[in-house]
């Protein structure tokens, strides 16, 4: 297969209606993208599958939906006003600004993950990179807060200051006790949220990977402090899960990730039980949706790159054409956030623990997943090329359309019959109708957007009310009755039946 480039993915996304550059009529808007008809369907499927897996199917996780515009005091308490910044440099000639660590990474052709600001300044002064736009001299490194600031109401005064949230977490922490009381919950339990975040990135890059407006799926999972060393949910299936692991020690020794079982990660002290549990669940979610395990790994944050709120953080990373990059972060936030909000608000956010007969503050494990990054992972991982044609081998549960319906030819009553079948099918699954061009071209168009199954109505359909179902990945076809078509397609898409089993059915 030809090597996959980001440019190929960007081109297909625009041409086939997955993703468009935002405000393109007016020259575009760096770091902002609009999702097209197919992109919306794929993105909705990602969100729905995540919510079903981690919220709806569990008794111990509930959801909220908080505001995106947030009072400034919240982010003063959380530490984002003081600590949420990136290093930037400005070109003295063309006045373009760049993120200093990214500039040096490109200049040195190596990752600088975990590097501290002082070490970054030393490297910068040693290598003296030039402006990538005009070749001009660059200024000194400065720090830049990434939050978008605004004012609520008519007066632009600090008492009315607000920020567009850079993460969804803070509304979960502020609503912790209200959720616990209204839903009659006690730790351990989690609160989930899917929503938009905003970061004024200096140099958004790599398409959907680094954006200024993006979407997150996050859980804050609250655990009693006395349960820190034991997680009752760690069963045999999770403990034997294989992962590619890159710990702090391995990074400092310049070693590659090592395959090991989750049980071994815990035994070696890399991960504490609750942290290990959520790392494993998030890793397994990608595997279950078909992502190539050789392109996944978990990497522990170095102390110098760890967020101000975190005791420990592990990222799930994917091997993109532009290198290993984070797609999910699982942080141990300790009691930092609840303690900070208690301090700044004066409101008690502890809870009374019936077992210990005292007030406690739970520690928090936070799995945080970028929707847009997951979107990019699933597209790139599904990408296959055969004889110059693109085939997106998306898991059927992710595919924008589950099935396409075609009349073999555009005459003799076949389009009318095909339309009749299409109308019945679309009430059950997401489907698409196409009668233009040769049947081969119609198959190719659906392969390119990831449609797993195509149904063809031919002359035999008019005789015995049967149709052919074609499998995207194998090109195999099998004939089934129209009456059972919706049921069969649903079972195939939900992976409750394999195509091989269907072929062997009488």
Task: Report pLDDT digits (tens) over 111-151.
Answer: 787 677 888 899 999 999 999 999 999 999 988 888 999 99
The tens digit of pLDDT for each residue in 351-396 reads: 999 999 999 999 999 999 999 999 999 999 999 999 889 999 999 9
Q: Please report the beta strands in 60-147, taking only residues with DSSP state E, as ranges in sequence order.
A: 61-63, 69-71, 85-90, 97-99, 142-145
Q: What pLDDT score was predicted for residue 436?
A: 95
The two structure tokens encoding residue 96: 């373009």
The tens digit of pLDDT for each residue in 423-473 reads: 999 999 999 999 999 999 999 999 999 999 999 999 999 999 999 999 999
Q: What pLDDT score was predicted for residue 2?
A: 66
Instruction: Name every residue whose Cβ is closer than 8 Å to that of residue 266 and which is 6 or more positions away in sequence.
Output: 234, 239, 272, 273, 276
The two structure tokens encoding residue 203: 């140099």
The tens digit of pLDDT for each residue in 6-27 reads: 999 999 999 999 999 999 999 9
**How far does the chain reach from its first CA to its final CA, in angstroms?**
37
Q: What pLDDT score was predicted for residue 289?
A: 98
Of the candidates 299, 250, 297, the one whose C-alpha atom is nearest the C-alpha of residue 271 is 299
Residue 317: which H helix or E strand, with range? strand 312-320
Q: What pLDDT score was predicted for residue 159?
A: 87
Q: Is residue 211 scored above 90 in pLDDT?
A: yes
Neighbours of 109 (CB within 10 A): 6
The tens digit of pLDDT for each residue in 54-102 reads: 999 999 999 999 999 999 999 999 999 887 888 999 999 998 889 898 8
Percent of the chain as helix, strand, coil, to the nearest 5: 35, 25, 35
Q: What pLDDT score was predicted for residue 484?
A: 95
Q: What pLDDT score was predicted for residue 1?
A: 55
What would you report as the CA-atom Rg of the chain, rounded to the nearest whole angstrom? 26
Q: Is residue 108 scored above 70 in pLDDT?
A: yes
Tell me the pLDDT of the chain averaged across its residues: 94
- Which DSSP category does 135 fall into? -
Contact 226, 358 (CB under 8 A): no
The tens digit of pLDDT for each residue in 290-348 reads: 999 999 999 999 998 888 899 999 999 999 999 999 999 999 999 999 999 999 999 99
Structural domains in the chain?
Answer: 6-67+164-380 (3.30.930.10), 85-145 (3.30.40.230), 401-504 (3.40.50.800)
């Amino acid at each position: 297969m030809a090597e996959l480039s980001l440019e190929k993915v960007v081109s297909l996304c625009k041409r086939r209606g997955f993703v468009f550059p935002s405000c393109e009529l007016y020259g575009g808007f760096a770091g902002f993208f609009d999702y097209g008809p197919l992109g919306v369907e794929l993105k909705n499927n990602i969100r729905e599958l995540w919510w079903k897996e981690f919220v709806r199917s569990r008794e111990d996780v509930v959801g909220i939906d908080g505001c995106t515009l947030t009072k400034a005091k919240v982010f003063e308490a959380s530490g984002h006003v003081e600590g949420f910044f990136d290093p930037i440099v400005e070109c003295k000639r063309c006045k373009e600004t760049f993120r200093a660590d990214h500039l040096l990474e490109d200049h040195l052709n190596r990752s600088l993950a975990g590097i501290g600001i002082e070490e970054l300044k030393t490297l910068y002064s040693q290598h003296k990179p030039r402006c990538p736009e005009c070749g001009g001299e660059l200024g000194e490194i400065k720090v830049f807060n990434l939050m978008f600031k605004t004012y609520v109401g008519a007066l632009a005064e600090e008492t009315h200051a607000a920020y567009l949230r850079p993460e969804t977490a803070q509304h979960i922490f502020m609503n912790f006790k209200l959720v616990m009381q209204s839903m009659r919950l006690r730790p351990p339990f989690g609160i989930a949220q899917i929503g938009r975040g905003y970061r004024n990135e200096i140099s958004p890059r790599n398409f959907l990977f680094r954006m200024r407006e993006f979407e997150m799926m996050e859980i804050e999972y609250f655990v009693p402090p006395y349960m820190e060393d034991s997680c009752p949910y760690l069963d045999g299936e999770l403990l034997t899960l294989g992962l590619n692991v890159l710990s702090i020690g391995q990074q400092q020794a310049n070693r590659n990730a090592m395959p090991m079982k989750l049980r071994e990660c815990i035994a070696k002290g890399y991960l504490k039980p609750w942290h290990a549990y959520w790392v494993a669940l998030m890793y397994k979610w990608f595997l279950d949706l078909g992502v190539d395990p050789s392109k996944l790994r978990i990497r522990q944050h170095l102390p110098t790159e760890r967020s101000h709120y975190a005791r420990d953080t592990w990222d799930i990373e994917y091997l993109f054409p532009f290198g290993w990059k984070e797609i999910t972060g699982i942080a141990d936030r300790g009691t930092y956030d609840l303690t900070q909000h208690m301090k700044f608000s004066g409101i008690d956010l502890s809870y009374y623990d019936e077992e210990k007969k005292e007030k406690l503050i739970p520690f928090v494990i936070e799995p945080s997943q970028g929707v847009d990054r997951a979107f990019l992972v699933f597209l790139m991982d599904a990408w296959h090329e055969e004889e110059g044609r693109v085939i997106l081998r998306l898991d059927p549960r992710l595919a924008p359309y589950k099935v396409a319906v075609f009349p073999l030819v555009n005459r003799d009553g076949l389009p009318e019959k095909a339309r009749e079948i299409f109308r019945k099918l679309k009430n059950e699954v997401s489907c698409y109708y196409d009668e233009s061009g040769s049947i081969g071209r119609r198959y190719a168009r659906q392969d390119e957007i990831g449609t797993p199954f195509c149904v063809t109505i031919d002359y035999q359909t008019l005789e015995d009310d049967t149709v052919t179902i074609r499998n995207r990945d194998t090109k195999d076809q099998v004939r089934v009755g129209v009456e059972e078509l919706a049921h069969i397609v649903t079972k195939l898409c939900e992976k409750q039946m394999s195509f091989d089993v269907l072929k062997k059915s009488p």
